[in-house]
Structure 1
Amino acid sequence: MTIMDKLVTASEALFDRHGFTATGMDKLTQGAGISSRTLYKHAGSKNALIARVLGERDKRFARRLEVESIDALFKGLEDWVRLEGRRGCLFLRALGETGGDTPEIVDAVLAHKARIAERIAVLVEHDTGHADAMLTEQVIVLFEGATAAAVYRGEQAVAAARQSAATLMAEARS
Structure 2
Amino acid sequence: MPAALEDLMPLPAPRTTPAGAALLEAASSLFAQRGITATGVDLIAQHAGITKRTLYQRFGAKEALVAACLAQRAHDWQVHLLEELDAAPAVPPDQAVRLVFAAAREWTRDPRRGCTFLGAWAEVSALPGEAAQVVQAEKAWMRRLFVALAGDARRGELVHQLYEGAQMCAAIGGDPESLDRAAEVAARIAGGTDAGHGFSPIDG
When normalised by structure 2's length, the TM-score is 0.73
Instruction: Report the counterpart of residue 103 of structure 2 in structure 1.
Output: 76
Contact preservation (8 Å) 1:47, 1:102: no
Q: Which residue identity lines up with residue 183 of structure 2 in the other structure?
A: R
Closer/same/farther in 2, CA of residues 150 and 85 from structure 1, 3 Å limit: farther
Offset at residue 74 of structure 1 (A): 0.7
- The separation in 2 between residues aligned to 1:3 and 1:25, in whole angstroms, is 14
Deviates more, 1:7-16 or 1:98-107: 98-107
Contact preservation (8 Å) 1:64, 1:77: no
Offset at residue 85 of structure 1 (A): 5.4
Q: In structure 2, the residue corresponding to 1:14 is in which secondary structure?
A: helix
- The separation in 2 between residues aligned to 1:147 and 1:85, in whole angstroms, is 16
Q: Which residue identity lines up with residue 106 of structure 1 in the other structure?
A: A
Q: In structure 1, the residue corresponding to 2:177 is in which secondary structure?
A: helix
Offset at residue 120 of structure 1 (A): 0.8
Q: How many matched pairs? A: 167
Q: 1:5 aligns with which of 16, 21, 27?
A: 21
Instruction: Report the counterpart of residue 128 of structure 1 in structure 2.
Output: none
Structure 2 counterparts to residues 102-121 of structure 1, below 5 A: 102-121=128-147
Deviates more, 1:76-85 or 1:105-114: 76-85
Q: Which residue identity lines up with residue 141 of structure 1 in the other structure?
A: Q
Could you report, residue by residue, the CA deviation over 1:41-94 in whole angstroms, capped at 9, with x for unpaired residues?
11211000001001100101112431261111111111111235574x322333
Structure 2 counterparts to residues 1-174 of structure 1, below 5 A: 2-66=18-82, 67=85, 69-84=96-111, 87=114, 89-125=115-151, 131=152, 133-151=153-171, 152-170=173-191, 171=193
Contact preservation (8 Å) 1:81, 1:155: no
Structure 1 portions without partners, runs of 5+ = 126-130
Q: Which residue identity lines up with residue 74 of structure 1 in the other structure?
A: F
- The separation in 1 between residues aligned to 2:188 and 2:98, in whole angstroms, is 10
| Percent identity over paired residues | 31
- The separation in 1 between residues aligned to 2:180 and 2:194, in whole angstroms, is 20
Structure 2 portions without partners, runs of 5+ = 1-16, 89-95, 197-204
Q: Which residue identity lines up with residue 140 of structure 1 in the other structure?
A: H
- The separation in 1 between residues aligned to 2:177 and 2:141, in whole angstroms, is 25
- The separation in 2 between residues aligned to 1:64 and 1:22, in whole angstroms, is 29
Q: Which residue identity lines up with residue 113 of structure 1 in the other structure?
A: K
Contact preservation (8 Å) 2:185, 2:194: no
